[in-house]
Amino acid sequence: MQHELVTLPDAAALASRAAVVVAGLATSSVAQHHEALDRVPARLVPMPVTDPDLEAAADAYAARLPPALDVVHLGLGPDGHTASLVPGDPVLDVADRLVAVTNPYQGHRRMTLTFPGLARAQQALWLIAGEDKRDALRKLLAGDRSIPAARVEAARSTILADAAAAEGLGST
């Protein structure tokens, strides 16, 4: 997949999370997305991560997904993970579901869109900040499928990266 890389000025500081860790936490993806989308005509449907049967909840959430997603907002971890598609997790090999539950990562199981779920996106919009992401960003741009992020497919992909993450990578 071709990515358009846009380097942001040093003054820009961006952060994003793509998966919910625990509902209700101020640092959860849901709280951050609600705050960010407060003034945008968008509808956010949080993943049901507090449901006692996470597998059934993931299936129910997948059933609510439209055939195509307008935009999927993604971040990039230093280890090359995106959404909650983490290196070494069995969820990376899920091909028959749109939403799945991961093994514990950083102390929590997570619900995430799978690669087939992300492939429904017309636009992948990546927000990447920090020097610690530079190597993973380089691999993403090279299509190095050794990192989960490089396995994401969307009709179009735009990467917004701060200067620290994009140093030496060029820009458009």
Could you tell me what percentage of the chain is helix, strand and coil, using 3-state DSSP and rounding each to the nearest 5? 30, 20, 50
Tell me, yes or no, whether 171 lies in a domain: no
Residue 4 and residue 61 in contact, taking contact as beta carbons nearer than 8 Å:
no
Range of the domain at 94: 4-166
What digits encode the pLDDT tens for the residues 120-142?
A: 988 899 999 999 999 999 999 99
Our count of domains for the chain comes to: 1
Containing 62, the helix (H) or strand (E) segment is helix 54-64
Q: Is the pLDDT of residue 167 over 70?
A: yes
- How confident is the model at residue 40, as a pLDDT? 61
- Within a domain: 41: yes
For the segment 51-64, the average pLDDT, to the nearest whole number, is: 93
Full-model pTM: 0.78
d(CA 84, CA 74): 10
Is the pLDDT at 45 greater than 60? The verdict is yes
Residue 55's pLDDT is 94
CATH of the domain at 155: 3.40.50.1360
- Give, in order, the Cα–Cα distances in Å from 14 to each of 44, 62, 80, 105, 161: 20, 28, 17, 23, 8
Query: What is the pLDDT confidence band of residue 47, given thresholds at 50, 70 and 90?
Result: confident
